[in-house]
Amino acid sequence: MVCALGIEGSANKIGIGIIKDGEVLANVRRTYITPPGEGFLPKETAKHHREAILGLVQSSLKEAKLQPADLDVICYTKGPGMAPPLLVGAIVARTLSLLWAKPLLGVNHCIGHIEMGRLITGAQNPIVLYVSGGNTQVIAYSNQRYRIFGETIDIAVGNCLDRFARIIKLSNDPSPGYNIEQLAKKSNRYIKLPYVVKGMDVSFSGILSYIEDLAEPGKRQNKRKRQQEEEVTDYSQADLCYSLQETIFAMLVEITERAMAHCGSNEVLIVGGVGCNERLQEMMRIMCEERGGKLFATDERYCIDNGLMIAHAGAEMFRSGTRMPLEEAFVTQRFRTDEVLVSWRQD
């Protein structure tokens, strides 16, 4: 039985989680929320994390009813993510490791999402759709690696949603993507947008530019666009949110279905912050049922960045014999999913 404390702080959320032999003992989190129309910058995000992290560590131990001596390993997000926020988690993890004389493990953020999803849902060997603000990947496990079958070639799907929310000045509380989802429910008027699937990869930057022109036609600069502007019907924000979701989610369903067919799988697991979106889950569920498959998804407690997923992935690594010297306890902004040896799986 391994009892692990995990620290996640790769983006605008700082979370601490404690897990013991697959049992959730604590999962606390704070989110850095910026004003409408603004994103979160690395320096300010790191400041938020520094101010919150020690209180969250204390809260997690209190919620778990544990003392530091009860822990077996301290885990932190090694990457990918924004460097300043990542460093906050790494420095605190190193400090706790030394103070409490506990082993230290750096965890791949993407692997944390996958293993947390598998634990909560019970999915055995699914095709994984990993969708978040910084990542968009279709993944399948093979020979102790999570292999990337397809991914975005520019921006992540969550980044596309977040940036469009900023364009139309939606609130960032609780999250831009959630507010787009709620606004989309008020419309069923579909506006044709670019649909960009290139083999197993997807692209969202052109879609974002196109829908930005529809949302803010007054910003168009060239003559051709000004001429077209007169022919464009006014679209409500709800129409635009609905159409954006339907288009980009259809792209994700397509490449996920293709991965299912290639691997002969009948399971799909959606992980990452965008995985909370009920419309994405509905579309994916329809596709899975048509193929005689099953969809697995989690709620916001586990699909949004959290320390618990880092604790669980770290516990699996520790149980399988993985160890990390203090000298290797750094962070990296680029840390691909398929770089990690999945030593805890033998299937």
Binding residues for a divalent metal cation: 109, 113, 130, 305
Say how far residue 194 (Cα) sits from the centre of its chain: 24
Assigned token pair, 127 = 């095709």
CB-based contact 302:113 (threshold 8 Å) = no
Amino acid found at 254: E
CB-based contact 85:49 (threshold 8 Å) = yes
Strand 267-271 with 3-8, pairing = unpaired
Strand 3-8 with 73-79, pairing = parallel
User: How many CB atoms are located within 10 Å of the residue 295 CB?
Assistant: 22
What's the CA gap between 42 and 39, in Å, rounded?
10
Over the range 27-54, which residues count as b (16 or more CB within 10 Å of their CB) and which as e?
bbbbbbebeeeeebebeebbebbbebbe
Please name the residue that has the structure tokens 């949110």: 241
CB-based contact 268:295 (threshold 8 Å) = yes
CB-based contact 336:148 (threshold 8 Å) = yes
Is 161 exposed, middle or buried, given 0-12, 13-18 or 19+ CB atoms closer than 10 A? buried
